[in-house]
Structure 1
């Protein structure tokens, strides 16, 4: 299934035979430490920058009717964010993933984002649309 929007992600997760947990890491885009003049100019023009994770959460597809709900819940924490990375974690034998597995997966996502290795996650803008980012 082609995931072009948050609704597509929800539909895909709900259609899986095993229980799913959706994993989300919210991030801001910041200037890198000691930016060059080119990096600063690109950042000010809305291109480039470093990804900085600010918070994360997991949800079952049943807990999340739409993207607006996720945005509303995120705003309760008072952290600004520019994009959210999503991934899914599948359960086994009809059981949802264990909390420890969820925590480890979220930690790996945060580390991957910090390292620029974002290829295995789906980035969404604040409107629930998939973003095309450069990253491995």
Structure 2
């Protein structure tokens, strides 16, 4: 069971093929057509829409520490509330390249935008797995 970013990094080392991690950082926002109840829930930290603001792919070695990933995201100037993570397996002992990750990353961003996030690991700003919904 993966309950934190460090668990995820450990799990990647147990995979038979090298991995590439895909990250989609999202900001929680209130939809324009939100009802009064939805607005009140949002103020309590519930609900809202998750809007992708940053996406990046890295090998587990390039992103071994969550704090370094957070620091890198700060340099973009984009604030975020949750990051979704997915992993891609390599072949023949070679991790997928950034070029190979481009289409899956695009599909992941679109899935998140549409609210289809069940296939991804959601993490908070401390790198702890969170439950959405």
Q: TM-score normalised by the shorter chain: which range applies?
A: over 0.9
SS of residue matched to 2:104? helix
Residue 122 of structure 2 is aligned to residue 123 of structure 1: yes
Range that drifts further, 98-107 or 117-126: 98-107
Aligned to 2:77: 78
Aligned length: 133
Q: TM-score, normalised by structure 1?
A: 0.93
2:24 counterpart residue number: 25
Q: Which whole-Å deviations, capped at 9, do the CAs of 1:95-118 have from their partners, x for residues lacking one?
A: 221433301111111111111110
Kindly state the Cα deviation for residue 62 of structure 1 after the two structures are TM-superposed. Answer: 1.0
- In the other structure, the counterpart of 1:48 is 47
Distance 2:98 2:124 in 1: 27
Give 5+ residue unaligned stretches, structure 2.
Answer: none
Verify the 8 A CA contact 2:30 2:48 in the aligned structure 1: yes
Which moves more between the two structures, 115-124 or 14-23? 14-23
Tell me by how many angstroms 1:33 deviates: 2.6
Q: Which string of whole-angstrom CA distances, capped at 9 and with x for unpartnered residues, describes residues 65-100 of structure 1?
A: 211011011111111101100010001111221433
**Structural mapping, 1:52-63, within 5 Å:** 52-63=51-62
C-alpha RMSD of matched pairs (Å): 1.0
CA distance in 2, matches of 1:58, 1:131: 21
- Superposed CA deviations along residues 10-61 of structure 1, whole A, max 9, x for unmatched, are 0011221211101100000000131111111111111100000001011111
Q: Which runs of 5+ in 1 are unaligned?
A: none
